[in-house]
């Protein structure tokens, strides 16, 4: 008989975010889903992908993403975290490296939303979109 797994209790949204990216880099679906709330109101949007709603849809999305042989690594830049008693939002620029290449291959703008649950902090939303070129997001000057 399999021994039931005791879920990890993430004591801060930062701990849950770190576990999320560790699971992402390891392509570990079970560890990934341990960072998510067990809820049907979850939302996950991968760059260029559809809006996945609900625990099973989110898990299936990660399983599909992890099926590739491509190794991804992440570095977060410009991290902003807003935290209240029961909800936290993290926004950052993900610098993505592929394989053993240390030079970032691309960047994404990411928003992660965490909810404080009886089991600790858990993700309820992950939205990642391709980042525009830096020149495209620089202000053009004063508006007249």
**Ranges of the chain whose pLDDT falls below 50:** 1-3, 135-141, 144
Where do we find the tokens 């560890």? 31
What pLDDT is stored for residue 13 in this prediction?
A: 97
Summarised one tens digit per residue, pLDDT across range 92-113 is: 999 988 888 878 888 999 999 9
Cα 104 to Cα 120: distance, rounded to the nearest angstrom: 32
What pLDDT is stored for residue 3 in this prediction?
A: 46
C-alpha dihedral, 25 to 27 to 29 to 32, nearest 10°: 0
Q: Which domains does the chain have, with CATH numbers?
A: 13-131 (3.10.450.50)
What pLDDT is stored for residue 104 in this prediction?
A: 81
């Amino acid at each position: 008989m399999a021994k039931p797994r005791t879920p990890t209790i993430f004591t801060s949204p930062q701990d849950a975010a770190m576990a999320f990216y560790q699971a992402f880099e390891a392509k570990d679906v079970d560890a990934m889903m341990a960072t998510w709330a067990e809820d049907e109101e979850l939302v996950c949007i991968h760059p260029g992908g559809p809006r996945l709603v609900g625990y099973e849809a989110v898990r299936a999305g990660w399983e599909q993403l992890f099926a590739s042989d491509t190794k991804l690594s992440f570095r977060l830049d410009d991290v902003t975290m807003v935290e209240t008693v029961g909800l936290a939002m993290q926004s950052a620029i993900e610098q993505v490296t592929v394989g053993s290449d240390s030079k970032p291959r691309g960047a994404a703008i990411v928003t992660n939303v965490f909810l404080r649950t009886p089991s600790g902090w858990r993700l309820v939303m992950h939205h990642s979109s391709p980042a525009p070129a830096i020149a495209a997001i620089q202000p053009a000057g004063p508006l007249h």
